[in-house]
Structure 1
Amino acid sequence: MGTPLETRQEQVLEVLDRLYDAYPDSTISLNFSNRLELLVAVVLSAQCTDERVNEVTADLFEKYRTPEDYANADVDELDEDISSITYHNNKTKWIKSAANTIVEEHGGEVPDTMEELTELKGVGRKTANVVLQHGHDVVEGIVVDTHVRRLSRRLGITEEEYPERIERDLMSIVPEEDWQQYTHLMISHGRATCTAINPECSDCVVEDLCPSSKLDHEIDLASGEPWD
């Protein structure tokens, strides 16, 4: 039997309160100056570090400035331009296809709805949520990346395993006004402390709330307090 909804909601509020204090300036770490650049950067960032993406896009965004530039690009040349990105062959095809759709069906403008964005090649719900939130100031969901998935499960906030189910579950317990920042806080904490391998539990600001803590004490999941 899972943890009651009310208990998880209380857990989320306490976690958010502490992470807001710990990471007051937490925000997206991809570099971009417009919606097209944001879309391309997020597509490139799948299973690749933001640092590497920012290194590549520094030159890429100078060379390709419009959807037409990507749509008309030579496949081999574009592939070479992003060759240091994970799965660059697939991403080259996705970017060209998405750019074609943007030119032919959206008047050269990056779409502003979940339905239209997810119809673009290489754009799933996670990517669409990022583009909506940071490109259009539309927040209609929670971005679930590897950090959000890992930390939300470790903290006992959700027991779901797959991104779309995790997102739906989180949307039922995270206050709507925190949906966007929840992702940034989890990413910041995941990078700084709650890493995939060997998390630094002794330095964690939410360690006493975490049922997955490596430290030698037990947690009362109902109250979130350590047992004496």
Structure 2
Amino acid sequence: MNGKTSIRSSSIATRSGNRCTPLAALKSKITKKRRNVDTGSSVAVKVEEEEASVSQPRSSAAPLSTGGRPTLHPQAIVQPKTETDTLPLASNSRRRRQLKVEYDRDEDVKTERWEPPDWRKQLGYIREMRSSRDAPVDNMGAEKCYDTEAPAHVRRFQVLVSLMLSSQTKDQVTAAAMQKLRAHGCTVENILSTDDETLGKLIYPVGFWRTKVKYLKQTSAMLQQEFGGDIPDSVEGLVRLSGVGPKMAHLAMDIAWDQVSGIGVDTHVHRISNRLGWLRKSTKNPEETRKALEEWLPRELWSEINWLLVGFGQQVCLPVSPLCSVCLNQHSCPSAHRASPAKKPKAGSPRSPDPSSSFKGKIETESAVKDEKSKEESLPTPISPKIQRRKLKSKVDR
């Protein structure tokens, strides 16, 4: 019994099938397994730490472990982006700016301003032909029809009235009507207090004088109610007045207010601009001509171009039968030496011939010609002296 007990106390046997393992051998196996597990886990941890150190840069202040393996600082400092990181953005932005510059250049090419050929040379010749300033517009235009000694608002009103009367009227007739109005008293108050019949006698014989009497009354009433007796200082306000169009508004702004708001285009400016080829496309009315001229003509010439072309149209470039032979632009004007179509007189006017009378005259002339021929045939044919002598000898012989 004592021998069996000592054997059990010195060694503990385990059963693995039919095989028994001593206690020392079991301990050695357990320690080997633990070492293998420790080495595997340490290798795995080392690999994970190295991957973390590669993905996140280690801070310069981060301490190293005693084993030589790097340890991650819990508050790692993130390094700022370098210039190489922003290079792609800079190249993209540079590429966008280049595209924008090219687009702007294309826009400049598309919006290139059109100018008629030789227009500066033609304008210089017109200035030379207008140097004497002896056209009707120079002496009797709207700039010459107001009272220079009147108050400023009265002068501006007289300029507007002269422009309203000048529509479809020669400057000589407009100047005579303005002289009578000024003698009567050309103010807003006097126009309103004058009856229509008297006002009509004062402005007669301007074109459409009856209609202009109504326009003068309506305009004067609006000026007194809305503008305190003065004329508006804008094109929008002027065109609201009765009988005032864009041409009058721009001329009134230039003469009365000394402000260039646009080109005053009348029938002379409209006609000459189309004849000279100063328009990209031919226009049908003065308002279309004004817009076409303002697209290319320099603004500093807008005030001068009206009186230049108006006087030129009154003296040289006439509506019918223009004097192209004395015009300095006859070699560059596309319409030079072309006969203007003459207006045919209306039927029944003193200038128009009577068709019945012309027909009767034609018949009478034809009958007269026939009578003369018959008379000539009825006359005896003249006999020569030799034949007469022969006839006499024959008679004597008998």
TM over 0.5: yes
CA distance in 2 between counterparts of 1:146 and 1:46 reads: 10
Q: Which runs of 4+ in 1 moved over 4 A?
A: 25-28
Write the deviation string for residues 132-169 of structure 1: whole angstroms up to 9, x where unpaired.
Answer: 11111111111111100110001111222222211011
Greater alpha carbon shift after TM alignment, 109-118 vs 62-71: 62-71
Equivalent position amino acid for 1:78 in 2: L
1:175 is aligned, of 293, 298, 302, to 298
Aligned to 1:209: 332
Aligned to 1:163: 286
* Structure index of larger Rg: 2
CA distance in 2 between counterparts of 1:197 and 1:110 reads: 37
Q: Is the partner of 1:46 in helix, strand or coil?
A: coil
TM-score, normalised by the number of residues in structure 1: 0.87
Greater alpha carbon shift after TM alignment, 21-30 vs 48-57: 21-30
Runs of at least 5 residues in structure 2 that lack an aligned partner in the other structure? 1-111, 148-154, 339-398
Matches within 5 A, 1:75-94: 75-94=196-215
Aligned to 2:121: 14
Q: Residue 7 of structure 1: CA displacement?
A: 4.4
Tell whether the 8 Å contact from 1:73 to 1:96 is kept in structure 2 after alignment. Answer: no
Aligned to 1:63: 184
Q: Is the partner of 1:208 in helix, strand or coil?
A: coil
Greater alpha carbon shift after TM alignment, 58-67 vs 183-192: 58-67
1:208–1:36 Cα change, 3 Å = same
Tell whether the 8 Å contact from 2:272 to 2:317 is kept in structure 1 after alignment. Answer: yes
CA distance in 2 between counterparts of 1:178 and 1:59 reads: 34
Tell whether the 8 Å contact from 1:18 to 1:205 is kept in structure 2 after alignment. Answer: yes
Tell whether the 8 Å contact from 2:250 to 2:261 is kept in structure 1 after alignment. Answer: yes
1:104 aligns with 2:225: yes
Structure possessing the higher relative contact order (Cα contacts under 8 Å, 6 or more residues apart): 1
Aligned to 1:225: none
1:38–1:25 Cα change, 3 Å = farther
Q: Residue 64 of structure 1: CA displacement?
A: 2.3
CA RMSD of aligned residues (A): 1.9
Aligned residue pair count: 212
Write the deviation string for residues 51-110 of structure 1: whole angstroms up to 9, x where unpaired.
Answer: 111011112112123211112221111112112111000000001110111110000111
Q: Residue 5 of structure 1: CA displacement?
A: 5.8
CA distance in 2 between counterparts of 1:142 and 1:180 reads: 7
Write the deviation string for residues 162-194 of structure 1: whole angstroms up to 9, x where unpaired.
Answer: 222110110112111011111111111111111
CA distance in 2 between counterparts of 1:7 and 1:129 reads: 23
CA distance in 1 between counterparts of 2:266 and 2:250 reads: 11
Equivalent position amino acid for 1:65 in 2: C
Tell whether the 8 Å contact from 1:70 to 1:99 is kept in structure 2 after alignment. Answer: yes
1:23 aligns with 2:144: no
